[in-house]
Chain A
Amino acid sequence: MSKTLFEKIWDSHLVLEEENGPSLLYIDRHLIHEVTSPQAFEGLRLNNRKVRRPDLTIATEDHNVPTSNRSLPIVDQVSSIQIKTLEKNCKDFGIQLFGINNPNQGIVHVIGPQLGITLPGSTIVCGDSHTSTQGAFGALAFGIGTSEVEHVLATQTIWMEKLKPFEIRVEGKRKNPFAVTAKDIILSIIRRIGTAGGAGTVIEYRGETISELSMEQRMTICNMSIEAGARAGLIAPDEKTFEYLRGKKYTPKNYEELVAEWRENLKTDSNAKFDKSFTLDAKNLAPQVSWGTNPAMVSDVTEKIPFPEEFAKDLSQQKGVEKALQYMDLKPGIPITDIYIDRVFIGSCTNARLEDLIAASKVVKGKKVSSKVRAMVVPGSQMVKKQAEDLGIDKIFIDANFEWRESGCSMCLGMNPDILGPGERCASTSNRNFEGRQGVGGRTHLVSPVMAAAAAIKGHFVDVREMDLN
């Protein structure tokens, strides 16, 4: 029978399949962090249970860690307790931890692929919704809650209803791939299918444009699958995937054998059926900027802030737009390029990998951040930070008056001291523009790294296609 890639991975991980109920699925890789794991370990202790496979489990500290000088103690006592709790839990249960001062520390979804923990055809879970990022390698990777973290720790399995495969094709050559990025592709998809468009599904991204993307760009696409409501995003592995994972810290010894097998099997059969399908034409795509309080509220940079009445189909959506514009303090009809910003954040599991930083640095090189803007770069991991520094990219940012920080989730969710003040407006390369996401009363505009860099220089949004680049 013909199968989609998702169905192949699903079927090969079934421990138990029950009629009219969820299936028991084996988990190959379990990544944990400080925020969603403490209650899971507490549950194990209360019931006298062990971690079944510490050798398939890896921990890091990313969500609440400060991105300032790491040689200083953590000032926030509650964060500090959470960090110490993870350290104790890892020690007690025999789990490898890449802690705050480890050279492999970083955002969990950035370090997974960088260390070769992420493998094609595998199942990967983490108590974080952006686990979907790792689907870029042809893995079934999805976020879980803390009860499920406890369940995976104890049993290395998870009970799950089978998801439905959703095909999203991206076709057409972009005219300016430097300025119209993977971030613009995914924002544009979410804008069209909505924040619940992918509910109950695993999205498989396919088509010419997807094949052309680098692995890091593919990760940006899969990362935001959750913003479209999907549990996971997938891209079939190809030679770029295999090359990316060659020679990493945890790349398996029999890697070439595995690659031969993956090359043969890890793809959707030609006549396999998807539950639904959507196609985006990328040919005329423009850089995207979000203007509202969910990731579907997005416009081209060349457009104006919409009027609520433009969403005539649905009254509750109209109310939502009205409320969002009120929160964002934006008036309908003004051009996106007239929106002035206070802050710029280049970071997060969506856009803080080396290529993102290189691209942004090309916009910044030889220029200065607007005097009205505070801008920061937070590399996705210590490895990304070091690679960037080896290339001298840190200097480009520092010379332009960007802050160059240590790695972590930082201002994507503002659990550490990196937050927006009330009313502050930010051009952010992160994934969520929810109310208060980056700080109580803060206003987030989601953009690509090059668009964020351009906004930092000009002090307001600009079409990065029109910037002079050195």
Chain B
Amino acid sequence: MDRFKKIKSIVTPFDKVNVDTDQIVPKQFLKLIQKTGFGKFLFYNWRFNSDEKPNSGFILNDPKYKNSKILITQDNFGCGSSREHAVWALQDYGFSVIIAPSFADIFFSNCFKNGLLAIILNSKIVEKLLKIQTEIEVDLENQIIKTDTEIIPFQIDEYKKKNLLNGLDEIALTLKYQDKILEYEKKSTISSLL
């Protein structure tokens, strides 16, 4: 995982509640066996018309947001299926930060495993950020978002923050506790499936 650096970009206002992972990456694109290349499928059924031409009314097709790295959206983003492909698609498309008043649990966890920063802010601030037209800066180290006119602090769990800033491999981290795992296994009575 790459180290998470400061992100400065305009924001894509995506004013929708309950966006499920079936919309983020429709199932017809889940058959690949690698993690790369999912950006072209992001929000596919919304981004493209049935003739596969871009839907000009869809926000991501507005040239203004072409290089945006920050997506602002509404409650319960990422609900439904556990597919991590949703995170891979958002990242591959170019997003590094997603801001919402709340996220679905599995999606939220998947974001941090891949270095995508998911920030929870209260709805009033989200409403304000949905309207912002200028660039904002997301500074994870100091847990602040800078706009032209204000500095907005945000909360993040220390463990997640450290992993993102250092680009840590979580499995390598866990394997340092092998002795603890072994100790647990010695007293565990769970039956083998062999």
Contacts and interface: CB of A to CB of B under 8 A. Distances in A.
B192 interface: yes
- Which of B22, B30, B80, B191 gathers the greatest number of chain A CB atoms within 10 Å? B191
A24 interface: yes
A333 interface: no
Given A128-B82, A155-B174, A195-B18, A231 B193 contact: no
A159 B76 contact: no
A51 to B, nearest CB: 12
Contact of B33 (A38, A76, A231): A38
A317 B17 contact: yes
Contacts of A117: 193
Interface in A68-109: 76, 78-79, 81-82, 85, 96
Interface stretch (B4-12, B54-62, B98-106, B146-154): B98-106
Contacts of A85: 33
A229 B87 CA distance: 18
A237 to B, nearest CB: 16
- Interface residues of B: mostly helix, strand, loop or mixed? loop
A177 interface: no
B149 to A, nearest CB: 25
Given A196-B76, A415-B30, A231 B105 contact: yes
A316 interface: yes
Contacts of A55: 192-194
Interface stretch (B63-71, B89-97, B107-115, B133-141): B107-115
Interface in B111-138: 113-114
A310 B187 CA distance: 56
Interface in A424-468: 432, 434-437, 440-441
Interface stretch (A15-23, A204-212, A214-222, A273-281): A15-23
Contact of B174 (A58, A159, A413): A159
B102 A196 contact: yes
A316 B105 contact: no
A333 B84 CA distance: 39
B142 interface: no
A161 B157 contact: yes
Contacts, number: 190
Contact of B50 (A28, A161, A422): A422
Contacts of B191: 119, 250, 252-253
A150 B35 CA distance: 13
A145 B32 contact: no
B100 to A, nearest CB: 11
B31 A57 contact: no
A82 B33 contact: yes
Nearest to A144: B82
A21 B27 contact: no
Given A56-B193, A64-B31, A434-B23, A154 B171 contact: yes
Contacts of B76: 195-196, 199, 229
Contacts of B82: 36, 127-129, 143-145
B181 A156 contact: yes
Nearest to A25: B184
B44 to A, nearest CB: 9
B80 A434 contact: yes
Interface in A127-156: 127-129, 143-148, 150-151, 154-156
Given A128-B82, A436-B26, A145 B109 contact: yes
Contact of A151 (B27, B79, B158, B170): B170
Interface in A101-123: 117, 119, 122
Interface string A17-44: 0101110101011000001101100110
B110 A145 contact: yes
A49 interface: yes
A148 B35 CA distance: 14
Nearest to B26: A436
Contact of A432 (B80, B158, B194): B80
Interface in A164-202: 195-196, 199-200
A55 B170 CA distance: 23
Nearest to B184: A15
A39 B35 contact: yes
B160 to A, nearest CB: 9
B79 to A, nearest CB: 6
B180 A15 contact: yes
Given A96-B194, A231-B105, A441-B50, A147 B113 contact: yes
Contacts of A436: 22-23, 26, 45
A401 interface: no
B181 A157 contact: yes
Contacts of B35: 39, 42, 146
A414 interface: yes
Contacts of B106: 129, 143-145, 231
A38 B79 CA distance: 22
Contact of A24 (B18, B109, B177, B185): B177
A294 interface: yes
B81 interface: yes
Contacts of A122: 190
B12 to A, nearest CB: 18
9 contacts: A20-B159, A57-B193, A78-B32, A145-B87, A145-B113, A148-B109, A155-B174, A157-B174, A415-B28
Interface of A: 15-16, 18, 20-22, 24, 26, 28-29, 35-36, 38-39, 42-43, 47, 49, 52, 54-58, 63-64, 76, 78-79, 81-82, 85, 96, 117, 119, 122, 127-129, 143-148, 150-151, 154-157, 159, 161, 195-196, 199-200, 226, 229, 231, 250, 252-253, 294, 316-317, 320, 413-415, 422, 432, 434-437, 440-441
Closest 10 CB pairs of A and B: A147-B113, A38-B33, A145-B110, A145-B84, A252-B191, A21-B159, A146-B84, A143-B82, A55-B192, A129-B82
